Structure 1
Amino acid sequence: MKTITKFVFLSFCCSLLLGACAPQAQSVSTTDAPQQEIATATSLPTKDIYSLWVAPYLPQDLQDQIMLPKNVVLADTQDEADIWLDIGGDQQVSQWVYALAAPFPTVPDSITSQELVQIWKGEGSADSPLQSLLVDGKTKATFEKVWGVPSSSTVILTNEENLLTAAWSKTGAWAIIPFETLETRWKVIALDDISPLDDDFNADQYALSVAFSLLGKTEDLQVLNTRITAAGNALVPSTNRDENKITTVAMTGVTALVRGTAYMMEKYGMTYPALDIGDILRNADITHISNEIPFTETCPNPFYNSENDANLVFCSKPEYINLLDSIGTDVVELTGDHFRDWGADAMLYTLDLYDQRGWKYYGGGRNLEEGQQPALFEHNGNKIAFLGCNAKPEGYATADVDYPGAVHCDMEVMAEQIKAVKAQGYIPIVTFQHIEYYDYAASPYLVKDFHTVAEAGAAIVSGSQAHQPQAFEFYKGAFLHYGLGNLFFDQYNEGSAQRQAFIDRYIIYDGRVISTDLITIMFVDMARPRLMHADERQDLLETIFTASGW
């Protein structure tokens, strides 16, 4: 025992001598240090009060969430502080994710991180879609520490509140912004094909992730770590992109498993239509399907009843629901014109199939009261409400006091419902089965009703009636998409526009819709869509953005 005591004493003296010769400020991890080393910190000489300097260019959201442990205070200047919180990657306590954001009507989806740094340094290419970078003061100072001093000709200092307006008003002007400040009028541009909107996002592989570290003397950092642990709270949030606050919603257009689509399913298998896009739908946290067609055990084979086909009287065989099972359906919209086609028994049978699977549905039901109820979801702290109705002339929607069917639109009732769910903290997503037309632009018939629900507080308004893609609009804080086109329907031979469609992937973070990821698809036959090729996607986006007035 005495030998051990002498050894400890000599070791302690040596450490003091070495410490006196060491640099005054050195980086030490407060998260990766061995537990034994941390535990002995209390045996070292300590002060009652320690001071922490926070680099003023660190994100304001991070600074606002600092939780100081007992006997730790903020220092006004770096020289006065015992410990610094600054940019650094070796002893990380937080990792902040930024996004490269362009105005929403931007066609390119990705650039390389090398291209981005070249713009920062004023060495960009004339043919690059990115010509100038907008940054606020804190972001500029942060990336100066990472990339060096920026070029004054290509990096434009802009007030945070003016970034979006400035980007929309200048061609080729994009911005670097913190992830949590995204909103739907921005489009997130991937870097090296990595986007912070990705389901499998890895911040360590992303060029716009910045690490923040604590810097100081070893003994000071050990004491601070001990006090943080005793307080039971982290000093700062570990990230501004918390996976546990993200919800993705996949919104889709027309599903009608009839005629040619049904024929191809019979020939190649029930899940054939989703061969190329199934993963996209399955990976969403909430997958929306607007299935217009009732299931019935008396449904004949495809093309068996030519009179019904000619009169657009449709049904689906019960086994066709395997397709909807396979893509991870979560909520079914019932506003479609054809839900009534096979009568009350078929509608009730269809609802039983949905109930057996635990799927929620809205915009229709066993009666009017049920059909008017919103479909409510809670996921990762986000509350989402789906509401919808059929806005065509009466007759398509048959829901009544004691009869099933789609719900006909009563815009006053709809407005009150939107306000009610919003007051409960839900994000309202409103969908319409509306007047059908074949044009990329928004029809005035739709605009009025879309605006009405946006004014009532809808965050997203989506047209489920369209058999081709249609325009976008931002209105009263809402994102409006007048028509997505078909998801599973056999209009392949009716024109090139009917072969094009969107799946809208919405990203909700911490109670807000922060982004819309436009997934563009192209039909290869009467049943099966695939992801568009680059030239096809460019053509559709340019066409739709022009039709939207951008």
Structure 2
Amino acid sequence: MVQIFFVRSGNRMHKHYIFLFVVGLILFVGCANAQAPLPGLTTNPIPTAPATRPQPTASPTVPRPATIFIPKEITGTLRADMLAAAKQIGLTNAANKASADLVISSQRAPDSSVLTERVYAVVDWFPTKLTNIGSEELLNLWQGQPSPQGVDTLLVAPETLAAFTELWGAPASNVKTIPAEQLVEAIWNNKTALAIMPFDQLVPKVKALHVDDLNILDRAAKMDSYPLVTRLFASGDAVFLKGFTSAFYKKNAQTNRDPNRMTQLIMTGVTAISRTSAFKIDAAGDNALPARAVADVLAAADITHVSNEVPFTESCKPVLGTLQLCSKPQYIEALKLAGIDLISSTGNHMNDYGIKAFMETLDLFDKEGFKVFGGGRNIDEAKRVLVVEDHGNKLAFLGMNSFGPKSVWATADRPGAQQYDPAILHEELEEARAEADVVFLDMQSEETYQYEPYAGNVEKFRDGIANGADVVTGVQAHQPQALEFSPDGKKIILYGLGNLFFDQMQSDNVRQGLVVRHTIHNGKLIQTELLPTLLYDYVQPRWATPEQAQEILDLVFGASGFK
């Protein structure tokens, strides 16, 4: 800051110098501040080089979500499982097939692979006389034309309807949609209807018909020519395809009919190769004579069962007209020819020749590789639950004897059959249920010579079903008897199968027998077939003719109350 002082002087020159000094000072200060404009003044700015305009930055590209196309015809649980599998690997549902990364289709594309295969069965109620239907006849029925056998209605569940609409086109009005859980009951209530249902949903209460003479219960059936198969194919990005199928197969099998998970089990009635049968065998010089006519079918099963009621012992001396029964050891050839694997030893004649003879029998069974249940060298052996595994299916077998006599019941130090005790039975069934997929109970119960079941047996057998058995078989009956199903159709009681190898010929009812063939698939009992036999010449059962078989079945179904 420049400060100006006024100083008084006595002469004029002095004042002049002061004036010049002040003017010079002002000029000096003005020059010194020439570059800094004073407040309120503007100056012309110094021109500068123009600034470069910034270029816009490119927006990052947002990747398109990966998608899967699932046709609208795929509905229900299958669609839900596909969407869930797709979500696991980051695929969203596409509305447009052309832009999808993965495409599901019922039509095979050049680069596609089979995602799922669904085999279907044509079924009728269990007592039906039908055995086969032609594929052309079935297609005509779908299109509204009744079959020559009088079938005028076809029943299907919603998912089956969608699958076959894709395969055969829109159905006629005689094709009725029924909830899957009501299909079995519906087919029993409509005797002019058939149903189409997935193979893996079969139950014993319905009968799977052959289609074009092809039996889908036969593991070796040539399915390439079977018409009731639908397939879905997957195509698209290889990485997505691998991830999707891996996730999808955690909950879904590639096929619902896997031959590697199918087991056929044959169960039979009374075997007691004794009395007149023994004389016939010895006269023919053929120890396997009883099995000659039926062995091919019995041995073809994966597992074959007999209920043997008598001892095989060297001390056996066959006698006619006696109730003291035995078999010679060499008659075991009949069981070997029949391919026997399992022996139910609950019979009431096992100790007819004493404890030693029964022990001899068990030793022979062990030597031949037969597995025994329901009886044994002592009570601990008799009460063992036998578990057999075949084609990935675990089957449990146990047996009890309520008929007696007391001398045949096993104890801690005596061989015999396991005595019936409901409390112990429930414990064993619980054990069997925990260890196996399907549980079979043999009951040697009260004997009656009639097709209708004895009331006491009904109570016992139903109790077995209620407490864990899937199949209860009465092995005491010397003639065929009634059968019944659980309300859901998944379990079955066979009150009596009649004789297999026994010499009773005094009347038609005791000549008749039932060979039962069960089919198990993927841990479930899906079908039960009844194969009638007739005994000839006191020694040999033979397959009944179609007319004879129908007569036997009509008697059994009538006693069962099937209408």
TM-score (norm 1): 0.83
Judge conservation of contact 1:57–1:137 (CA < 8 Å) in 2.
no
1:284 to 276, 279, 301: 301
| Corresponding letter in the other structure for 2:517 | R
Determine the C-alpha separation between the residues in 1 that align with 2:267 and 2:280.
24
| Corresponding letter in the other structure for 1:521 | T
1:252 to 250, 261, 268: 268
Alpha-carbon deviations, 1:316-367, whole Å to 9, x = none?
Answer: 1111111112222111111111111111111001111111233221111101
- The residue correspondences of 1:457-476 to structure 2 (distance < 5 A) are 457-475=468-486
Q: Determine whether 1:184 maps to 2:196.
A: no
Structure 1 residues 178 and 297, CA gap change in structure 2 (3 angstroms):
same
- Give 1:463 shift: 0.7
- Give 1:231 shift: 8.9
Alpha-carbon deviations, 1:443-499, whole Å to 9, x = none?
Answer: 2121111112112111100011111111011236531000011111112x3111222
Name the SS for the 2:349 alignment partner.
Answer: helix
Judge conservation of contact 1:87–1:142 (CA < 8 Å) in 2.
no
Judge conservation of contact 2:291–2:338 (CA < 8 Å) in 1.
yes
2:175 to 149, 155, 160: 155
Q: Determine whether 1:51 maps to 2:73.
A: no
Structure 1 residues 140 and 323, CA gap change in structure 2 (3 angstroms):
same
Determine the C-alpha separation between the residues in 2 that align with 1:177 and 1:170.
16
Q: Determine whether 1:505 maps to 2:523.
A: no
| Residue in 1 that maps onto 2:254 | 238
Which sits farther off after the overlay, 53-62 or 291-300? 53-62
- Give 1:386 shift: 0.9
Determine the C-alpha separation between the residues in 1 that align with 2:152 and 2:158.
19
Judge conservation of contact 1:54–1:74 (CA < 8 Å) in 2.
no
1:315 to 320, 326, 329: 326
| Residue in 2 that maps onto 1:413 | 424
2:493 to 456, 480, 499: 480
Q: Determine whether 1:120 maps to 2:142.
A: yes
- Give 1:70 shift: 8.0
TM-score (norm 2): 0.81
- Give 1:258 shift: 1.0
| Corresponding letter in the other structure for 2:95 | T
Determine the C-alpha separation between the residues in 2 that align with 1:231 and 1:517.
37
1:296 to 313, 317, 323: 313
Name the SS for the 1:339 alignment partner.
Answer: coil
Structure 1 residues 97 and 58, CA gap change in structure 2 (3 angstroms):
farther
| Residue in 2 that maps onto 1:88 | 107
Structure 1 residues 88 and 396, CA gap change in structure 2 (3 angstroms):
farther
Alpha-carbon deviations, 1:119-152, whole Å to 9, x = none?
Answer: 1111123x51532110122211211222222111
Structure 1 residues 68 and 261, CA gap change in structure 2 (3 angstroms):
farther
Judge conservation of contact 2:145–2:152 (CA < 8 Å) in 1.
no
Judge conservation of contact 2:396–2:436 (CA < 8 Å) in 1.
no
| Residue in 1 that maps onto 2:24 | none
Determine the C-alpha separation between the residues in 2 that align with 1:109 and 1:323.
31
| Residue in 2 that maps onto 1:439 | 450
| Corresponding letter in the other structure for 1:482 | Y
Q: Determine whether 1:274 maps to 2:291.
A: yes
In structure 2, list runs of 5 or more residues that go unmatched. Answer: 1-62
Judge conservation of contact 1:52–1:75 (CA < 8 Å) in 2.
yes
Judge conservation of contact 2:124–2:206 (CA < 8 Å) in 1.
yes
Alpha-carbon deviations, 1:153-193, whole Å to 9, x = none?
Answer: x2111122221222111112221111111112221111122
Determine the C-alpha separation between the residues in 1 that align with 2:251 and 2:182.
31
- Give 1:116 shift: 1.2
Name the SS for the 1:400 alignment partner.
Answer: coil
| Residue in 1 that maps onto 2:464 | 453
Q: Determine whether 1:213 maps to 2:229.
A: no
Determine the C-alpha separation between the residues in 1 that align with 2:368 and 2:461.
31
Determine the C-alpha separation between the residues in 2 that align with 1:501 and 1:420.
32
Structure 1 residues 89 and 265, CA gap change in structure 2 (3 angstroms):
farther
Q: Considering only CA atoms, is the larger Rg found in Structure 1 or Structure 2?
A: 2
Determine the C-alpha separation between the residues in 2 that align with 1:229 and 1:169.
40
- Give 1:224 shift: 4.8
Judge conservation of contact 1:272–1:528 (CA < 8 Å) in 2.
yes
In structure 1, list runs of 5 or more residues that go unmatched. Answer: 1-46
Name the SS for the 1:332 alignment partner.
Answer: strand
| Residue in 2 that maps onto 1:144 | 165
Judge conservation of contact 1:69–1:231 (CA < 8 Å) in 2.
no
| Residue in 2 that maps onto 1:17 | none
- Give 1:270 shift: 2.2
Structure 1 residues 339 and 150, CA gap change in structure 2 (3 angstroms):
same
| Corresponding letter in the other structure for 1:465 | Q
Q: Determine whether 1:110 maps to 2:132.
A: yes
Judge conservation of contact 1:331–1:375 (CA < 8 Å) in 2.
no
Judge conservation of contact 1:52–1:72 (CA < 8 Å) in 2.
no
Determine the C-alpha separation between the residues in 2 that align with 1:129 and 1:265.
48
Name the SS for the 1:312 alignment partner.
Answer: coil
Judge conservation of contact 1:100–1:189 (CA < 8 Å) in 2.
yes
Alpha-carbon deviations, 1:215-245, whole Å to 9, x = none?
Answer: 5xxxx45565566799997997431111222
Determine the C-alpha separation between the residues in 1 that align with 2:140 and 2:268.
39
Q: Determine whether 1:73 maps to 2:106.
A: no
Structure 1 residues 48 and 506, CA gap change in structure 2 (3 angstroms):
farther
Q: Determine whether 1:338 maps to 2:349.
A: yes
Determine the C-alpha separation between the residues in 2 that align with 1:310 and 1:197.
43
Determine the C-alpha separation between the residues in 2 that align with 1:425 and 1:355.
23
Name the SS for the 2:357 alignment partner.
Answer: helix
Q: Determine whether 1:533 maps to 2:545.
A: yes
Alpha-carbon deviations, 1:7-44, whole Å to 9, x = none?
Answer: xxxxxxxxxxxxxxxxxxxxxxxxxxxxxxxxxxxxxx
| Corresponding letter in the other structure for 2:205 | R
Determine the C-alpha separation between the residues in 2 that align with 1:228 and 1:131.
42
| Residue in 1 that maps onto 2:16 | none
